[in-house]
Every structure is written in C-alpha cells, then in structure tokens.
Amino acid sequence: MRIAFMLPLAIRIAALVPLTAGAAGVVSGAGFLGEAAGPATDSHMRYLSGLLMGFGILAWWCAADMKRRGGVFTILVLIVALGGLARLAGVLGHVRPPLPHLLALGMELLVTPALWLWWRARRAGAEAEPRPGDLYRWLGGA
C-alpha cells in the first residue's frame, strides 16, 4: 500500500466512530446511552446523533480529496475539538462519565487533531518538494 493512501484511510477508519455512534443514537435516541430520558432529552439526543453522523460523512468526503477539501477538514476538526473541550469541561466540573464517553473525549481531543497535524505535515512536505519547473527557475530560467 502506498503511503499516500495511509492518511485518507486513517481518516475513514476514524470516521467510522461518529458514523456508527451517530446512527445508533438516531435509531435508539437516549436509549443508546442506556439511561432513562424524557421526550425532550430523547429528541435532543437524536438531533445531536444526526449531527455526529454528519461529521462522519463529512470526514469521509474530505478524505477523498484532501488537497482540495483540506479547508473543510480543518473546520471539521475545530468543531470536533470544540465539542471535546466542552465535554472536558463537564468532566472536570462534574463526576467522571462512563468509559465510552472518555474514549469519545480521546477521539475528540487526541485522534482528530492528530489526523489534522498529519495532514498539515504532509501538506508542508509536499509544498517543500521541488517540482520539475523549480529547478529550471532556480537555474535562471524564466
């Protein structure tokens, strides 16, 4: 497997988390968390699950063409990290949530930003690589 396919593959694998968790929340609402909830909480859970599923779809779409969709990927990562910071504030200010929520926090504040840093490093490396016309210009060509 060529190295160029590793980052898009990693993004797609990571995107399976919001895709599957989002779909489960859309289908089962607050029941997905294994806790009782009223109609308002259930409705809100389904809405947020739909957004989560959308984040996974958007990440999958970005992975198909990171060169042109990197800006969208950056915004997506910022939104996910902001959500992670909100979750972290809850963890620090309240009781510790169950393990699946802590794993989600790891995805939001570690994995997703790491994928973005990987993309930025690859992009910076690609910009630093000489192109055929660069040597000609360096030698004094027009």
Q: How far apart are CA 130 and CA 132, in angstroms?
A: 7
- 140 confidence band (pLDDT: 50, 70, 90): low
For residue range 79-104, what is the model confidence (pLDDT) as tens digits?
999 999 999 999 999 888 889 999 99
Residue 134 has pLDDT above 60, yes or no: no
pTM: 0.80
Phi-psi region of 131 (alpha: psi -120 to 50; beta: other; left: phi over 0): beta
Look up residue 37 and give its two tokens: 């909830």
Q: Which pLDDT belongs to residue 111? A: 97
Q: Which residue has the tokens 């930025």?
A: 120
Contact 45, 29 (CB under 8 A): yes
Look up residue 51 and give its two tokens: 């957004």
Look up residue 80 and give its two tokens: 């996910």
Backbone phi, then psi, for 7, in 5-degree steps? -65, -50
Q: Which pLDDT belongs to residue 130? A: 57
For residue range 42-85, what is the model confidence (pLDDT) as tens digits?
999 999 999 999 999 999 999 999 999 999 999 999 999 999 99
Q: Which residue has the higher pLDDT, 20 or 2?
A: 20
